[in-house]
Amino acid sequence: MAKTKNDLLPSEGGFGNEPLLAVDNLHVEFHTRAGVVKAVNGVSYSLSAGETLAVLGESGSGKSVTAQAIMGILDMPPAVIPKGEVRFRGTDLLRLSEDARTQVRGQRIAMIFQDALSSLNPVFTVGWQISEMFRVHRGMSKRDAMKKAVELMERVRIPAAKQRVNDYPHQFSGGMRQRIMIAMAIALDPEVLIADEPTTALDVTVQAQIMELLADLQRESNMGLILITHDLGVVADVADKIAVMYGGRIVENAPVHDIYKAPAHPYTKGLLESIPRVDLKGQELYAIKGLPPNLLDMPSGCAFNPRCPYRQDNCVTDVPPLHEISGVRSSACHYWREVLDGS
C-alpha cells in the first residue's frame, strides 16, 4: 500500500509492544450554554491488528464521541479534550498537525458513520461516489477509479456490480446501501475500521449478513475493527472483546466469552438480561430501571448507582476504579465479586 512519508506519521512497524490503536484516559467535554457536558470521562481501550472490539452502551454513553475523537472530527469548540491520548502505532494522534492527521483520517483509520444510510448523495451514482475515493486520494483517472469501484462492490458482495455501478442510491435496499458505505470505508485499505452502529436501521437477517461481511473483510485484510453498538446480541459471534460504556466511562472490559458466561458489572448484567431469547418465549423482557445519567450533572460516586440493584452506601460516595479481575478483564464496580458470583 502506498503511503505518504511524513516524519510525524505513525510508522508501519517499530511500535514495540504498543497495540495498533490505544485510547488512553480520554476525556471529552462540550462547553454549551447549559453548562459543561462531560461526554467522555477517562475512556481507555486498545485494539490489535486483526482484532474486533465491540463498544457497547445505551444512547448517550459516549460511544460515538470517543470514535469522533479518534478520527479527529470533533468540532472544537464546542468540544474540548482536556486530557488523554489516542495512540496509533505508538504516535499520539491528538498531538499531530492537521496535515499529518489528514493522512491518517479516512485512509489508515476509516469510519462508517452512524447515519450512514442517509449520507449517500442522492444525485450521484454509487459508482461515482465510491470511485471518488480513488480519484481524490490516489489521483486515479475516472475510468480506472470506476473499475476499482466495481471491484469494491464485488468485494462487499453487491450482486451484478458491473451493471449496478451506475445506479443511484435510492435504487438499492438498506442493506445494499450499507454495503456501499462499507465499500467506501475500506476503499483505501485502512488498518483500523470503526463501524458506528452499522446495522441499527436494518432488519435482523440483514444485520447478520452485514456483520458476517465485516468479519470476512477483516479476516482478509487483518484490520483492527471497532464495532459500536447498543445491542449485545449482534456482536456475540464477531467480537473478540467488549468494552461496556456507561456515562462516558468504561464500566467493564472483557473477552466476549467471559461477558456472556458471567458479567462482572451490574450494568452489563442488565444489558444481557434484556436481550430477547428464543428459548424463553413468552417471558417478559427485562429492562434496566431508570434513566441514563445527566451528563451535565453526574450522580456522585458510581454513575450507575441510582439504577443499581447492588448499591451500597459507598457506591453513592466513591467512584469505583476499574478493578483488574484478570490480565484481560476489569470492572468498575465495588461489588464486582458479588456480581460475578451471581449473588
Ligand X SMILES: Nc1ncnc2c1ncn2[C@@H]1O[C@H](COP(=O)(O)OP(=O)(O)OP(=O)(O)O)[C@@H](O)[C@H]1O
- Candidates 35, 77, 78, 321: give the one binding ligand X (CB under 6 A): 78
Query: Bridge partners of 112?
Result: 195
Question: Judged by CB, which is closer to ligand X: 61, or 107?
Answer: 61
Q: Does 45 bind ligand X (CB under 6 A)?
A: no
Instruction: Select from 83, 221, 68, 243 the least CA-distant residue to 156.
Output: 221
Question: Judged by CB, which is closer to Mg ion: 167, or 231?
Answer: 231
Query: Bridge partners of 35?
Result: 32
Q: Does 32 bind ligand X (CB under 6 A)?
A: yes
Looking at 60-68, 80-88, 149-157, 177-185, which segment touches ligand X (CB under 6 A)? 60-68
Q: Does 304 bind ligand X (CB under 6 A)?
A: no
What are φ and ψ of residue 110, in 5° steps? -115, 160
- Candidates 83, 138, 230, 311: give the one binding ligand X (CB under 6 A): 230
Q: Does 209 bind ligand X (CB under 6 A)?
A: no
- Candidates 60, 127, 190, 320: give the one binding ligand X (CB under 6 A): 60
Which residues, 6 or more positions from 335, have their beta carbon under 8 angstroms from its beta carbon?
Answer: 266, 310, 312, 315
| Least distance from Mg ion to the Cβ atom of residue 202, Å | 16
Residue 59's binding partner out of Mg ion, ligand X, none, with CB under 5 to 8 Å set by partner kind: ligand X
Following DSSP, what letter does each residue of 282-331 receive, concatenated? TPPPP---S----TTSPPSSSTTGGG-TT--HHHHHSPPP-EEEETTEEE
103: helix, strand or coil: helix
Question: Judged by CB, which is closer to ligand X: 196, or 258?
Answer: 196
Report the relative pairing of strands 224-229 and 192-196 from DSSP bridges: parallel
**Angstrom distance (rounded) from CA 224 to CA 227:** 10
Q: Does 33 bind ligand X (CB under 6 A)?
A: no
**Angstrom distance (rounded) from CA 103 to CA 5:** 10
Q: Which of residues 79-138 bind ligand X (CB under 6 A)?
A: 114
Q: Which residues bind Mg ion (CB under 5 A)?
A: 64, 114
Question: Judged by CB, which is closer to Mg ion: 59, or 205?
Answer: 59
Residues in touch with ligand X (CB under 6 A): 30, 32, 37, 39, 57, 59-65, 78, 114, 230, 295
